[in-house]
Structure 1
Amino acid sequence: MSGALPSHILVSALLKRVNDSGGMGMVRAKGDADSGSILLILNENNGISKVMERAFGPLGTTILVETGPADASDVAAREAYWRKRRDRDPDLWVVELDIASAERFAAETITLG
Structure 2
Amino acid sequence: MSGRLPSGVLVSAILRRVNDAGGMGMMLAKGDPQGGAILIIALENNANPRALERGITSDGTVGLLRWTPRDMGDSAEVTAYWQRRRRNDPDLWVIELDIPFVERFAAETILDH
Give me the TM-score of the superposition, normalised by structure 1.
0.89
User: How far off its partner does 1:110 sit?
Assistant: 0.9
Contact 2:49 2:69 in 1 (8 A): no
> Any idea what the Cα deviations from partners look like across 1:64-108, whole Å, max 9, x if unmatched?
101253335311111111001100100000010011111111111
CA 1:54–1:65: 2 relative to 1, 3 Å? same
**In 2, distance between residues paired with 1:72 and 1:91?**
27
Gaps of 5+ in 2: none
Pairing 1:29–2:19 present = no
Between stretches 83-92 and 66-75, larger displacement belongs to 66-75
Residue 63 of structure 1 is matched in structure 2 by: 63
Paired residues in the alignment total 111
**In 2, distance between residues paired with 1:6 and 1:104?**
20
> Any idea what the Cα deviations from partners look like across 1:29-80, whole Å, max 9, x if unmatched?
0000010001010001272222111124414xx3110125333531111111
Contact 1:50 1:73 in 2 (8 A): no
CA 1:38–1:73: 2 relative to 1, 3 Å? farther
CA 1:66–1:86: 2 relative to 1, 3 Å? same
Residue 47 of structure 2 is matched in structure 1 by: 47
Write out the 4+ residue segments of structure 1 that deviate beyond 6 Å after TM superposition: none
Query: Which amino acid is 2:20 matched to?
Result: D
CA 1:85–1:72: 2 relative to 1, 3 Å? farther
Query: Which amino acid is 1:4 matched to?
Result: R
Give me the TM-score of the superposition, normalised by structure 2.
0.89
Report % sequence identity.
55
Residue 102 of structure 1 is matched in structure 2 by: 102
